[in-house]
Amino acid sequence: MDRRRFLKNVIGGGIVAGSTVAFGNYSQLLAATVAAAPAYDLVAVRGGEPGVMFDRAMASLGGMQAFVPKGSRVVVKPNIGWDVTPERGGNTNPALVQRIIEHCLQAGAREVSVFDHTCDPWAQCYRSSGIERAVRDAGGKIVSGNNEGYYQQVSVPEGRRLTEVKVHELLLEADVLINVPVLKHHSSTMLTVGMKNLMGVVWDRGYWHRNDLHQCIADFVSCRRPTLTVVDAYNVMKQNGPRGVSTADIVQMQALIVSTDPVAADAAAAKLFGLEPQTVRHIQLAAEMNLGRMDLGALSINRIRL
């Protein structure tokens, strides 16, 4: 059986050697050794430039080699949805994306691919955001997400409203998914963080909007949990999201959140934004579905001030 057919069977049926597995975790089945659990559930860094904050966060988690096996295929998924420049805060900071790719390649990744299913025209988004240049400078591979031919239908066995979805083929081939959202206001969901950012790996986002958007956001995490969620909270859009109007919408927080738990990462980001996590319905739903932990008081958190 070839690699892609194997992965699609894992996605659809979820049974391999008697165990239930989510797609994208299949590299763990083939690993000779199991990496030690990180020292912290979540790391929060404030007061530095994006790359420096990421360096400090990863050092406290044991380095990128703890998450990226040698020879692995990595997908880095930033927000590149809008044709705006970095200071506008509509997309993930390109300096952070570049540093993440560099860490992955230094850890021995075979390749690191970056894409998003953009809202504005994709070529303009990739260029204006600065992310296309950052990816190329770091040695990564930039890929379009705006052609339906790139997407494959998969099932979501634990989904309540989202039971099947077309996902980008890169996810079917990836050993590691690093989700890199930008924290910002959103008119439909109160705010965008990691779980919401994963809408950029699917083709038909309209279905989600028509069929309980918050539940669909939580449902998708049940079948594709990121290896790491890295929240860019350097320039935070506090109003007029998700695209924003001008730099007047931005508060410079110079913060970064990193966790293996996508729910915890979003909960911490909500607190940073000024919201209680339970008021953001998809965070509450994901916690109820046991997809991660929303109670930050129960987590081991490393808070770093630069």
103 pLDDT above the threshold of 70: yes
Which of 162, 172, 264, 178 minimizes the C-alpha distance to 217?
A: 162
150 pLDDT above the threshold of 70: yes
Q: What's the pLDDT score for residue 39?
A: 85
Q: What H or E segment, with its residue span, contains residue 73?
A: strand 73-78
Domain of residue 234, CATH code: 3.40.50.11440
Q: What's the pLDDT score for residue 29?
A: 28
Mean per-residue pLDDT of the chain: 90
Measured distance CA(184)–CA(236) in Å, rounded: 5
More confident residue, 46 or 33: 46
Q: pLDDT by residue (tens digit) across 236-288?
A: 999 998 999 999 999 999 999 999 999 999 999 999 999 999 999 999 999 99
Q: Which residues pair with 42 in a beta bridge?
A: 259, 301
197 pLDDT above the threshold of 70: yes
**Of 9-18, 225-234, 277-286, which range is least confident?**
9-18
pLDDT band at 38 (very low <50, low <70, confident <90, very high): confident
Measured distance CA(300)–CA(76) in Å, rounded: 25
Percent of the chain with pLDDT strictly greater than 70: 88
11 pLDDT above the threshold of 60: no
Question: For residue 230, how many other CB atoms are within 10 A of its CB?
Answer: 29
Structural domain for 243, as ranges: 3-305
Q: pLDDT by residue (tens digit) across 293-302?
A: 999 999 999 9
Domain count, the chain: 1
Place of tokens 């790391």: 43
Percent of the chain with pLDDT strictly greater than 90: 86
